[in-house]
Amino acid sequence: MALTKVIGSGIGTVTNQFADGNMAAGSVLQVVQGTSTSEFTTSSTSFVKATNLTASITPSATSSKILIMIQGTVETQQYTRHNYMDICRSIGGGSDNLNLSGQTEGLLNYYMGGTTIIRINGVISFLDSPNTTSQCVYNPSIRFGGGNTPGAEFGKSNQLQTIILTEIAG
CA dist., res. 150 & res. 24, Å (int): 48
Q: What is the pTM of this model?
A: 0.84
- Return the bridge partners of 76, or none: 118, 152
Whether 140 shows a pLDDT value over 60: the answer reads: yes
* DSSP conformation class of 15: T
Taking residues 21-48, report their average pLDDT. Answer: 90
Whether 3 shows a pLDDT value over 70: the answer reads: no
Instruction: Write down the pLDDT at residue 147.
Output: 67
Predicted confidence band of residue 116 (pLDDT cuts 50, 70, 90):
low
CA dist., res. 156 & res. 138, Å (int): 19
Predicted confidence band of residue 115 (pLDDT cuts 50, 70, 90):
low
Please tell us whether the domain made up of 33-168 is placed in CATH 3.30.70. no
The chain-wide mean pLDDT, for the chain, equals 85
